[in-house]
Structure 1
Amino acid sequence: MNGLGKFIKSTGIYLLGSVLTKVTSFLMLPLYTKYLTPTEYGNFDLYTAYITFLCSILFLDIWGGVMRFMFDYKTNEEKAKPVTIGLFIFTSSSIVYALAVILFGTVMNIPFKGLLLLYGLTMNMVQFVGYIARAQGKNIGYALGGLVGTIISILLNILFIAVLKRGYQYLYIAYCIGNIVNILIVGSDAKIFDLIIFRNFDKVLLREMLRFSLPLSINSAAYWFLTSYNRVVISNQLSTADNGLYAIANKFGSMVNLFTQCFQMAWQELSFSKAGSNKKEMDKFYTTAFNEYLRLMWIGTLIIISCVKVIFPIMIGSEFELAEPIVPGALLATFFTCISSFLGSIMTTIKKNDVLFFSTGIGAIVNVILINFLIKMYGIHAANIALSCGFACVCIARVLLLKKYLDIKLKYRWVVLLILGTCIVFIVYLNASRFINAILGIVIITIAFFIYRKQIYNGLNIVTKR
């Protein structure tokens, strides 16, 4: 199968197994906003942010390193080398993580430390097992694990929150059980245990993987200050109820991220496979890919903004209605997040992880300064302003840094047109009726179909022929 056909197939599988399951989770918002208060949901979101911070530092993003080095080998026995070493690093990190959660939770007087500990471990194990499966081409098993795990989590959420009327801590229990099911399904399909061969332990490869993964970990820590740090500031300087509103608004922002997740996963595999190409081929490939992705993402974000205005009162309970004007900013911030991740995957492919932290660090500094400076003036909106500016700086820095290694040309005409479109959509969202927003959404969708008419036709032909 050629690169495009394989890419479309992979994207379709991830769409079914990952994005659609997460969309189902998104549809749980009516449940959360009906049975939980903004304060309860704000606490859940805040403690999740703390766990994410610890995991981003301690686990070194080792799953990404395992996947990248598996692509350097051909046979299963050779691929077992990075898997075995990755498991050693993962196990060591888990021990340190457990101690950190107990210590940090005690100092911060955080409840449910045992649940938070299990939540972080299962969440990271899902990543570890999933990346190994993807490196083996076990995309269907990967998708099935995500689908079944998510369905179980959702059903348990309904049982605990709506039926039994339990507290928000039961959200962690539901997600942990879903994660465990996901791990069992994906791990069994990928035959993970067959890839753990201790005689393959290679100290030289261990050092190489640590050198590869350590910058990713540092980058993840900086990335936390670009995303989750704002939740801590809102909770401390405003209230956890305000953080609950911010979290719900960002659930809509995550829709942009979810719809690109399948693309990113398939793209990462295709991108890694281009690592050995000559510079001219890589320049052309990444220029085309970046410009198309930028345009597609931007148009998609504008469509979602218009749709959110229509569906918000249907989806969200009355206690969270103040989150509605926060949504466009959250969507814009998520857009820049996705673009920066796309550029970051290119850096990972050419093994320039050391410059990842530099670009993320710039964005993190911008975000931290702006959120603390603007929070008193603009309240919750300051978080999205700071986040958008921070990730925009990351994108600019990564484009400039990549130009040292690849000649990626940006089509500025589209950027200008899309900026104008964004201004129009924001003005209509904040000032016009839901009916007008619906009309605008239909207009943008029509324009999108016209722009991508050839790609849609070619894609359908490929799928039907396959």
Structure 2
Amino acid sequence: MNNSHGSLAKKSGLYFIGNFASKIIMAAMVPFYAYYVSVQELGVFNYSQIIMNILSPITYLAIWEAILRLLVAEKDKEQRANVIATSLRFVQVVLFFLFLFSVIFAFNQNKVFMYTMLMICIYGAAQIWQYYARSLGFNHIYVVGSVTGTIVNFLMLVITMSFLNLGATSLFWSFILGQISIILVIEMKVHVFKYSKTGDFDWFILKRMLIFSVPLVLNLTSNWLIAGFGKIIIMYQLGAYANGLYSFAMNFGTIVTMVGSVISMALIEEAIIKSGEKEVDEYFSNVIENVFKLFLSLCVVAIPCISIFYNIISKTGYSKSYQLVPLFILYAIITTMATNVGAIFQAKNKTNQLFYTTIFGAVTTIVLSFLLVNFIGIQGVAIAQIFGALVMLTLRWIYAKKLIKFSVRWNKICILTLTYLFVGIVWLKGTNLMSFTVSIFAIMVVCYINKNILLRIKKIGISKINSKVS
């Protein structure tokens, strides 16, 4: 089990370095949006991103999930080459038709749809190249590609927005060029096309891949419906301005979700490798319990920091979005845990059950969004997302307990959840003095619950200092 946790920690650490760098750049984008991008422009761009995230798994049939599953489990070099050659041929066909549709929209002078189609085309391809890197053991290249893509996106955004004055168009081109850079960096280091030349296209392999990935198409699409349906309904019911506020606040939840994906990526890989081991039940239980506590602790501390940021941008049009932030962070925590529990289903080849849990969550989100948007506006849609994610997590938890002996101690998790809710409410409704007092108390609670981890970190630090002195 020590080796298991070591492997997970190593992969998580590597993914964390890459994602942490990306998150720093993403965090830098948030104030940039506040001062250079209008609320309406951000609303339109984020609407296109949601369409992209929903349609990408459908157009590519989520083939990247099958690439990971087959390549990680396959040890024979010839078969691995065949898997890459088969999947690449499939991807090339999809890219051809997507690019053709983009050209058609361009001739019809529908620029937003054209950019959306290009985003679907390039984003899906970047996902696939990233999964090739992970599957072939080039985890460090995956990290370099992700960071490069984020840097290119940010730099192009600064150049096109600040110096070229391209307006909303710069948001689309910056994203597209960022995704292209991911593909180029990975291809230069991993040489995916070189692998494919040594393999052959195999209809049987393609059938195996699609049998595994097609159920996950609906799962991934439903996941994005839970995350993005709110933007769609707000766009049509309340307009681009309201969608811009919603999208800006959601950036904070997205950062939490993307940090959570660091653990999820490593956990899914380890789950596939260890699915046949006897100790896998204890492994999952310990990891998921610790991750739950970690994210709740970090988010308790995050609320005061985000509040200070909103004080800085109080004179911009985005200041009104602050009331949504605690809701989105709570949604991000629940979604992250649902994804981690979902790793059990992929390890056990039960992707159909994974889909059922997601579709129930999506339906809950859609129904509640329609019911609540007319009563409490944007907040109603955010609350609908939380309940949708909660339904998905609850159902996955129930199903997971039938697949493995799943046991989690809830006392500390419940205390941290209540602490987070208390801090969020006080920062929204209370005075500055009360908010800071409650935050200090909350940080003390977080430190007490995580005292074993903090003591371990302290011991490691002391031992390193002693070794340097000696």
The alignment's TM-score, normalised by the length of structure 2, stands at 0.91
CA deviation after TM superposition for structure 1 residue 382, in Å: 1.0
Which residue is equivalent to 2:237? 237
Unpaired segments ≥5 residues, structure 1: none
Which residue is equivalent to 1:153? 153
**Is the CA contact 2:105–2:114 (under 8 Å) kept in the aligned structure 1?**
no
Which residue is equivalent to 2:266? 266
CA deviation after TM superposition for structure 1 residue 98, in Å: 4.2
Alignment of 1:64-79 (within 5 A): 64-79=65-80
CA deviation after TM superposition for structure 1 residue 202, in Å: 2.7
Which sits farther off after the overlay, 141-150 or 40-49? 141-150
Aligned length: 462
Which residue is equivalent to 1:51? 52
CA deviation after TM superposition for structure 1 residue 126, in Å: 1.6
CA deviation after TM superposition for structure 1 residue 443, in Å: 4.1
Match of 1:339 among 334, 337, 340: 337
Match of 1:201, SS? coil
Letter in 1 for 2:92: T
Which residue is equivalent to 1:41? 42
1:286-345 deviation per Cα after TM superposition (whole angstroms, max 9, x unaligned): 111121122222222222223211222325761111101111111111111111111122
Letter in 2 for 1:58: T
Letter in 2 for 1:411: R
* Cα 1:196/1:412, change in 2 over 3 Å: same
Which residue is equivalent to 2:85? 84
CA deviation after TM superposition for structure 1 residue 442, in Å: 4.5
Which residue is equivalent to 1:5? 6
Give the Cα–Cα distance (whole angstroms) in 2 for the partners of residues 81 and 448 of structure 1: 50
Which residue is equivalent to 1:183? 183
Which residue is equivalent to 2:172? 172
Which sits farther off after the overlay, 323-332 or 450-459? 450-459
**Is the CA contact 1:31–1:162 (under 8 Å) kept in the aligned structure 2?**
no
Give the Cα–Cα distance (whole angstroms) in 2 for the partners of residues 335 and 9 of structure 1: 23
CA deviation after TM superposition for structure 1 residue 217, in Å: 0.5
Which residue is equivalent to 1:350? 348
Letter in 2 for 1:2: N
Letter in 2 for 1:90: V
Give the Cα–Cα distance (whole angstroms) in 2 for the partners of residues 230 and 80 of structure 1: 42
* Cα 1:402/1:386, change in 2 over 3 Å: same
Match of 1:362 among 360, 380, 383: 360
**Is the CA contact 1:76–1:195 (under 8 Å) kept in the aligned structure 2?**
no
Which residue is equivalent to 2:19? 18
CA deviation after TM superposition for structure 1 residue 111, in Å: 2.4
* Cα 1:114/1:427, change in 2 over 3 Å: closer
Alignment of 1:287-302 (within 5 A): 287-302=285-300
**Is the CA contact 1:336–1:392 (under 8 Å) kept in the aligned structure 2?**
yes
Which residue is equivalent to 2:394? 396
Alignment of 1:207-218 (within 5 A): 207-218=207-218
Alignment of 1:304-315 (within 5 A): 304-314=302-312
* Cα 1:199/1:155, change in 2 over 3 Å: closer
CA deviation after TM superposition for structure 1 residue 75, in Å: 4.1
Which residue is equivalent to 1:194? 194
**Is the CA contact 2:364–2:384 (under 8 Å) kept in the aligned structure 1?**
yes
**Is the CA contact 1:65–1:213 (under 8 Å) kept in the aligned structure 2?**
yes
* Cα 1:29/1:419, change in 2 over 3 Å: closer
Which sits farther off after the overlay, 434-443 or 216-225? 434-443
* Cα 1:282/1:3, change in 2 over 3 Å: closer
Which residue is equivalent to 1:127? 127
CA deviation after TM superposition for structure 1 residue 151, in Å: 1.4
Unpaired segments ≥5 residues, structure 2: none
Which sits farther off after the overlay, 76-85 or 449-458? 449-458
Give the Cα–Cα distance (whole angstroms) in 2 for the partners of residues 243 and 334 of structure 1: 18
Letter in 2 for 1:352: K
1:113-136 deviation per Cα after TM superposition (whole angstroms, max 9, x unaligned): 443332222211221111111122
1:138-177 deviation per Cα after TM superposition (whole angstroms, max 9, x unaligned): 1221111222222122111111112222211211111222
Match of 2:111, SS? coil
Match of 1:417 among 415, 418, 427: 415
CA deviation after TM superposition for structure 1 residue 54, in Å: 1.7
Give the Cα–Cα distance (whole angstroms) in 1 for the partners of residues 216 and 114 of structure 2: 27
Letter in 2 for 1:351: N
The alignment's TM-score, normalised by the length of structure 1, stands at 0.91
Give the Cα–Cα distance (whole angstroms) in 2 for the partners of residues 104 and 342 of structure 1: 39
CA deviation after TM superposition for structure 1 residue 361, in Å: 0.8
Letter in 2 for 1:429: W
Letter in 2 for 1:328: P
Which sits farther off after the overlay, 441-450 or 186-195? 441-450
**Is the CA contact 1:10–1:266 (under 8 Å) kept in the aligned structure 2?**
yes
1:159-212 deviation per Cα after TM superposition (whole angstroms, max 9, x unaligned): 111222221121111122222222111222222122214743332222111110
Match of 1:228, SS? helix
1:189-245 deviation per Cα after TM superposition (whole angstroms, max 9, x unaligned): 222122214743332222111110000101122223212111110011111100000
**Is the CA contact 1:310–1:438 (under 8 Å) kept in the aligned structure 2?**
no
1:252-304 deviation per Cα after TM superposition (whole angstroms, max 9, x unaligned): 111211322222222222222212213xx121111111211222222222222
Give the Cα–Cα distance (whole angstroms) in 1 for the partners of residues 405 and 107 of structure 2: 51
Letter in 1 for 2:414: V
Letter in 1 for 2:266: A
Give the Cα–Cα distance (whole angstroms) in 2 for the partners of residues 5 and 390 of structure 1: 34
1:375-401 deviation per Cα after TM superposition (whole angstroms, max 9, x unaligned): 011100011110000000000110111
CA deviation after TM superposition for structure 1 residue 358, in Å: 0.6
**Is the CA contact 1:19–1:261 (under 8 Å) kept in the aligned structure 2?**
no
Q: Does 1:383 align with 2:384?
A: no
Give the Cα–Cα distance (whole angstroms) in 2 for the partners of residues 110 and 433 of structure 1: 48
Which residue is equivalent to 1:452? 450
